Amino acid sequence: MSFKAAAIQMCSGVDPVKNAADMARLVRDAASQGAIYVQTPEMTGAVQKDRPGLRAVLRDEPNDIIVKTASELAKELGIHLHIGSTAIALDDGKIANRGFLFGPDGKLINRYDKIHMFDVDLDNGESWRESAVYRPGSEARIASLPFAQLGFSICYDVRFPQLFRAQAVAGAEVMTVPAAFTKQTGEAHWEILLRARAIENGMFVIAAAQAGKHEDGRETFGHSMIIDPWGKVLASAGGTGEAVVIAEIDTAAVKSAHDKIPNLKNAREFSLEKIATPAAGGVAA
């Protein structure tokens, strides 16, 4: 089936109310161009590296303004609206980096918590420890929509190909990668990783990103894009500011890619053995 999909590029600030209004404006733009599936970036509700500042604006899921606004928008516009993620307060004091998919009736179809925590130290001095604040998810899910089998990931998850492969084997035709990639890692790896995940699994990849310099001082890479199962970039945005990226998705291309290169069927189980290097003058056992 063919359908029009949109990736919304944002530069979210620290105020969830303003971010919700910006999101609504951009989603309406996408829907006016015919998109029936619309995806927003990771941390749509607030990009805020100051932890006390973030906690001050956090709400639980029933009271979160992004969740409420998204449900209303999906129903108003008659679309599937995917909030790539937003920060949700949990009962144990931790935070969920949680994505939401709403149907055209405004009802929640799926929620997904980011599985892999971004705990890294970069060359430019940036250091991130998501695990200190966020509770990781543990469950991958596929949503069976009228127009596609939709798989889920968030940002850093893209570096874990086993997550994508598991969903591809289970029938996912479109993988989603909402993100807030840092400028340094984005310049080096963003497009390469997205295209690799599309090619190796023969699936579409839709990746809505945060872009530009944010109120909290961080800088994100942007370049939201939609990629086909052969690795072709169908549409993309620049590295700064808002954008609405739209492309036609024909799920028949997934079967075509799998027919040409059936690597999902050709995969084999194997064992792994580490061979010790013999000491000088010795003989390996």
Q: Is 42 in the active site?
A: yes
Give the closest residue to 223 by CA, choosing from 204, 205, 210: 210
Residues constituting the chain: 285
Q: Hey, what are 141's tokens?
A: 């899910």
- Rounded Cα distance between 117 and 97, Å, is 10
- Contacts of 55 by beta carbon, 8 Å cutoff, 6+ apart: 89, 95
Q: Which of 114, 130, 173, 219 is catalytic?
A: 114
Q: Which of 4, 130, 139, 155 is catalytic?
A: 155
Q: Which of 11, 42, 173, 183 is catalytic?
A: 42
Burial of 234 (0-12, 13-18, 19+ CB in 10 A): middle
Could you please report the per-residue DSSP string of 31-94?
Answer: HHTT-SEEEPPTTSS-----HHHHHHH---GGG-HHHHHHHHHHHHHTSEEEEEEEEEE-TTS-
What are the CA-CA distances from residue 165 to residues 157, 227, 285 (Å)?
12, 16, 36
Catalytic sites, residue numbers: 42, 114, 155
